[in-house]
Amino acid sequence: MKLNLRQIEVFRAIMLSGSISGASKLLFVSQPAVSRLIAYTEQRLGLMLFERIKGRLYPTPEAKRLFAEVSTLYQIVQRVNEVADNLAENRVGQLRLSCSPSLGQSLMPRAIAAFRREFPEVRLVLQTLIPSVMLQSLLTQQVELGVAYLSMDHPSFASQSLYENHFVAVLPEGHPLAGRAQVSAAELAEQPLIGYSADIPFAMLVRDIFAGLPAEPEARIEVQQAHVACAMVQAGAGVALVDEMSVRGPIWSGVVTVPVAETVSAPISVYHLELEPLSRLAREFIRVLRELET
């Protein structure tokens, strides 16, 4: 055999991570060991799998073609392992899910609790992932469903919209604006704002809220995730604009949410592979998500 399972594993790790160092971290082995094995693999195959340009690895067309077959192999191995686990533990099924980090603290615990009341014997695996990693997990079928904010456009994905998910102002209890029926962008601009890094989608939505003002207010504190912004408000560090789903639940005691007059939303959708039929459990979980009181 020109390729054994270890060579395939190392090749796949390099393709997924894009580097020797990334592959060594994924496999918990040294970088020289990865370099030696991939060089040996290229020699055995008689193919150059990667071009080395200015210290970076770039997969050749032959490597990309080989990776498609390797991905299929890994999907089969993963399915065999899952079936074996289910048989060993007498489970009736397993559902692998992923979600955005903020949804892992708000929507998903409620949905999983409701699902388990109907299907107590099913094993659920939840991964909280940033969008780029979630996309890869869906493509490689490490998870069957992904629940995320906004849009993850990809030709291989189908999506189903779940919730409109409007933005609200998150204020400390006792704040002068806390008793209002709604609050305007102009009023919020005068407060010590907790904002978001400019390169994340939430920051773009917050800019939409302040679009009607002469100038966008400058955030006093900058974070990257909605649940971190809520924690900042809870600690008394300022006020924040957060989607209503992230602030739901008992963990945010001591804060008040007020609707924002300028309507902006961060839609939540569920994603799955378009050409891969959904399992019965996945369809049931989507039903539970839709029926959940929001």
Do residue 285 and residue 240 come from a single domain? no
Residue 187 has pLDDT above 90, yes or no: yes
Alpha-carbon gap, residue 173 to 32, rounded angstroms: 56
Confidence of residue 113 (pLDDT cuts 50, 70, 90): very high
Residue tagged 């399992």 (tokens): 279
Report the pLDDT averaged over residues 206-213: 90
The CATH number of residue 275's host domain is 3.40.190.10
Report the pLDDT averaged over residues 99-121: 90
Do residue 128 and residue 195 come from a single domain? no
Q: Kindly report the pTM of this predicted structure.
A: 0.64
Confidence of residue 91 (pLDDT cuts 50, 70, 90): low
Do residue 82 and residue 99 come from a single domain? no
Of the residues 36, 55, 87, the one at which a domain ends: 87
Do residue 29 and residue 56 come from a single domain? yes
Do residue 13 and residue 140 come from a single domain? no
Of the residues 28, 59, 87, the one at which a domain ends: 87
Do residue 101 and residue 218 come from a single domain? no
CA-wise closest residue to 169 among 224, 246, 250: 246
Virtual torsion, Cα 138, 84, 22, 70, nearest 10 deg: -70
- Concatenating the DSSP letter of every residue in the chain gives ----HHHHHHHHHHHHHSSHHHHHHHHTS-HHHHHHHHHHHHHHHTS--EEEETTEEEE-HHHHHHHHHHHHHHHHHHHHHHHHHHHHHT-S-EEEEEE-TTGGGTHHHHHHHHHHHH-TT-EEEEEE--HHHHHHHHHTTS-SEEEEES----TTEEEEEEE--BEEEEEETT-TTTT-S-B-HHHHHTS-EEEE-TTSHHHHHHHHHTTTSSSPPPPSEEESSHHHHHHHHHTTS-EEEEETTTT-STT-TTEEEEEBSS--B--EEEEEETTSPPPHHHHHHHHHHHHS--
Q: Tell me, what's the pLDDT at 92? A: 65
Do residue 186 and residue 239 come from a single domain? yes
Do residue 188 and residue 255 come from a single domain? yes
Report the pLDDT averaged over residues 44-58: 87
The CATH number of residue 81's host domain is 1.10.10.10
Residue 171 has pLDDT above 60, yes or no: yes
Residues 273-284 pLDDT 10s: 988 889 888 999
Domain tally, the chain = 3
C-beta of residue 89 within 8 angstroms of C-beta of residue 121:
no
Report the pLDDT averaged over residues 69-97: 78
Do residue 279 and residue 154 come from a single domain? yes
Is 87 exposed, middle or buried, given 0-12, 13-18 or 19+ CB atoms closer than 10 A? exposed
Write the CA distances from 219 to 19, 105, 239, 243, integer angstroms. Answer: 36, 24, 10, 17
Residue 31 has pLDDT above 70, yes or no: yes
Residue span of the structural domain in which 28 resides: 5-87
Confidence of residue 86 (pLDDT cuts 50, 70, 90): low
Report the pLDDT averaged over residues 168-196: 93
Q: Tell me, what's the pLDDT at 225? A: 86
Percent of the chain with pLDDT over 70: 96
Do residue 9 and residue 151 come from a single domain? no
Mean residue pLDDT across the chain:
88
Q: Tell me, what's the pLDDT at 73? A: 87
Do residue 155 and residue 218 come from a single domain? no
Confidence of residue 90 (pLDDT cuts 50, 70, 90): very low
Of the residues 34, 67, 87, the one at which a domain ends: 87
Do residue 118 and residue 150 come from a single domain? yes
Alpha-carbon gap, residue 38 to 56, rounded angstroms: 15
Angle between helix axes 5-17 and 31-45 (nearest 10 degrees) is 110
